[in-house]
Structure 1
């Protein structure tokens, strides 16, 4: 009787619905369809003594270790290193486990992440496991290769087109540089910024995306017009726009660029700052690409873009650089432009033939500033011997913008063979005077009005005694002997060239 009752009870228990199994809290989870940034593809959690440890794997930064992980019931919380936010060097993340998987939430830089994951099969885990690049080479020093004896001049796609750039647009810009006279004014580089990259083949070689069907043919097209082609990459896994970087493929990419016929490389730190976060590693990663470019045997101007960190002007040349960014990105407004031109870029020394401080691309022609402000922009870049890389749609260059960009006197001051970066001499009540020595004994003087009202400014005393005459570059005329005060527009400038006696001025006349 007792046995029959026990058997019946057992049958009843088995017939009842099974209670939900407690969710697994250790192991590997994979995330399908992850957003581009930071692109979490996998999470791993394992026991560590009485607690746990783990990491999340991202497309941008590879594995990100969990800091201070705490598992309470079905919820795991941890901190993760955060980029580009000094106020929040780490951010709190949460993983909530369910019988079906896990929901991961957290913040990194500008992105709020909410992703649902599932248990990963061994093959999926293996495919998503991050493969670190080989160790960086020891830091070396590369000799001067004779390139960029004056600041590079040309055009770059980013300011106007961002990542929405394609083969047809680049060809159109090359054609416009020729037909407008910009090439003959000295602009020769046609630079494709971020957005051209596709995926790597089984051999590891980087292919362009569908917008760029044949890079070699594009380079040939640009070269046939007397111009040079530039391209863009990053030492990190992802570029700033989320495309494929050169991480783990530096030497291979350098050879690919050379084979295509590239003449200029902008190398932007981007996601590489996760891996190369101190002065030593940043120098070595830029040296690695500099040495790789030299090894191709093709002359390629090398632009370092790491935002002026770690006193880049002190070592930019030695890693093979010909120009190095001194700032974050410029935007098309007077405040940002003037902060870069008057404050940031002047802090950097060592500009000269073969190596230049780069305050970023020109915004002339994009419409965010007045003509006077654009003349100030161009004058600041010229007086500081900065690269002149236009950033607008060249097909839409208006007459006022063309007059600025093609002004031979201003370009000559920027391109002067002496290669001295001009410096501020005086600043009084919003009026600044800058001086730049030029080859042959000439001197360039820029007077800036940083106020919001037109002002009169004195011509620096003694200039007439230094030369045969004084040229007002923007107005295209010589100053009269008694002309000692000049009207300077609000946010505007006057640019003067003092012509030394016995030299040939910009009009080709002996003085």
Structure 2
């Protein structure tokens, strides 16, 4: 039997430099740590650290972004310091994090996007590590353009929950919105989609099937209710592990979710990049991940209008149709104020080409009725969306639609400009000192002419005969104007919408 002292001397003689120090004082930060009650964002559930060839390697496993690799990691045996990619914050593409151990408790701190994280963790068992391990989805499919499926021949029209309700929605509210579409006459004006945005999702069952949360006890029954009123039902999900509001996304379950949506009777799907930004951050991967869901919807056997929501990145209008899309967002989220609405409508959306039957540029939902803008500003909002053949998705509480808002939204002549069968996207023709004239070709050799006053004072805008010879009809007032009339008073932040009249 070798005495302990002799064994220690032998170890010191044969071990490589530094090995004895590691054995005597191992880095307490190495190994797997788990967090029992992580915050909702980014939801760090595990930290794993190892030393390979003298270099520290590690990952943070999160609910939102899967496994986040540590970069430039260093450890002095007491504190681990590393950076992570910070994709959503363009001004800070990386962030520095630290971890330290005190009394067997790991203290992790750091920042990502809008959130500061300070979590306490403990050593994890092998079973806990297995349960928290993130499993990446398989490779994305090769690009292959689908055949035209005949859907969305005109811009989709309807209602969506997000602008008014955010994630605070339930079955009863959606049924009430469906009823209100009927009783207000908005359904008969063309608004037929009832779209449930973020906040309906629950968890997955043992077979991986996504279930609605407790606020939506039976999604198939809800779809049947909506369909019975001559309307169509829309849903929302994300290609990432989490949606924008933190609910379960479709990552790793794309075809399964598409089949589930079809079985429920869903007619429209909004696919919002959200946490998918972490995994799909270049033009090729974004195209492929949107094609993946597009193909899955086609394979489901149910005709489903497909709305791409990746905020206008990578020239989406150039390839939206080729991945199965019927409309694609051209911008970030709209808010209920004139500045944001006008920036989107006058500047952002007009940059995108290729709109037409089966595929539309989407400058986001309507704010009419939510109260943040004046009547003239809302009239500009609707005129801009109509002249650009944009989808018309209302976003207010339909039960509280004022007479003024209802008159604007249900104006059949304005809606007809948006829904014109030619499907041309109108655009600016003349711009001068905040006054603008836009035109839009219409079927039957007609033309729509929009006059915009972006200034803070009322102004007169004159329509040249070269733009619209002959008689004109004022669509907001619902009257034909005399053939000699070419000068129109336009209020501050207001609009006039005209249409040529044959004969």
Shorter-chain TM-score category? over 0.9
Distance in 2 separating the partners of 1:420 and 1:500 = 19
Partner of 1:303: 307
Distance in 1 separating the partners of 2:29 and 2:433 = 66
CA contact (8 A) 2:27 2:77 kept: no
2:322 is the alignment partner of 1:318: yes
Distance in 2 separating the partners of 1:320 and 1:499 = 37
Distance in 2 separating the partners of 1:366 and 1:187 = 17
Distance in 2 separating the partners of 1:44 and 1:462 = 70
CA contact (8 A) 1:23 1:98 kept: no
Partner of 2:221: 217
Correspondences of 1:3-402 after superposition (within 5 Å):
24-402=28-406
- Unaligned runs of 5+ residues in structure 1 are 1-20, 502-511
SS of equivalent residue, structure 1 residue 183: coil
SS of equivalent residue, structure 1 residue 172: helix
Q: CA deviation at 1:151?
A: 0.1
What is the CA deviation profile of residues 25-56 of structure 1, one whole-angstrom value per residue up to 9, with x for unaligned ones? 20000011100100000000101222311010
Q: CA deviation at 1:500?
A: 2.8
Q: CA deviation at 1:464?
A: 5.5
Distance in 1 separating the partners of 2:309 and 2:77 = 46
What is the CA deviation profile of residues 331-368 of structure 1, one whole-angstrom value per residue up to 9, with x for unaligned ones? 00000000000000000000000000000000000000
SS of equivalent residue, structure 1 residue 273: helix
SS of equivalent residue, structure 1 residue 310: helix
Distance in 2 separating the partners of 1:278 and 1:95 = 31
Q: CA deviation at 1:87?
A: 1.4
Distance in 2 separating the partners of 1:193 and 1:365 = 18
Of 50-59 and 446-455, the range deviating more from structure 2? 50-59
SS of equivalent residue, structure 1 residue 174: helix
What is the CA deviation profile of residues 380-435 of structure 1, one whole-angstrom value per residue up to 9, with x for unaligned ones? 00000000000000000001111110011110000000000001001011100000
Distance in 2 separating the partners of 1:69 and 1:138 = 36
SS of equivalent residue, structure 1 residue 424: strand
Of 478, 481, 499, the match for 2:480: 478
Partner of 2:425: 421
What is the CA deviation profile of residues 303-337 of structure 1, one whole-angstrom value per residue up to 9, with x for unaligned ones? 00000001100110011100000000000000000
SS of equivalent residue, structure 2 residue 188: helix
Q: CA deviation at 1:22?
A: 7.8
SS of equivalent residue, structure 1 residue 400: helix
2:479 is the alignment partner of 1:491: no
Distance in 2 separating the partners of 1:406 and 1:291 = 35
CA contact (8 A) 2:28 2:77 kept: no
Distance in 1 separating the partners of 2:205 and 2:279 = 24
- Unaligned runs of 5+ residues in structure 2 are 1-24
Of 68-77 and 376-385, the range deviating more from structure 2? 68-77
CA contact (8 A) 1:58 1:64 kept: yes
The CA RMSD measured in Å over matched residues stands at 1.2
Distance in 2 separating the partners of 1:480 and 1:91 = 64
CA contact (8 A) 2:29 2:77 kept: no
Which of structure 1's runs of 4+ aligned residues deviate more than 6 A?
A: none
Partner of 1:509: none
Q: CA deviation at 1:23?
A: 6.9
CA contact (8 A) 1:235 1:269 kept: yes
* TM-score after normalising by structure 1: 0.93
2:449 is the alignment partner of 1:441: no
Distance in 2 separating the partners of 1:499 and 1:232 = 41
Distance in 2 separating the partners of 1:386 and 1:146 = 18
Q: CA deviation at 1:172?
A: 0.1
SS of equivalent residue, structure 2 residue 187: helix
* TM-score after normalising by structure 2: 0.94
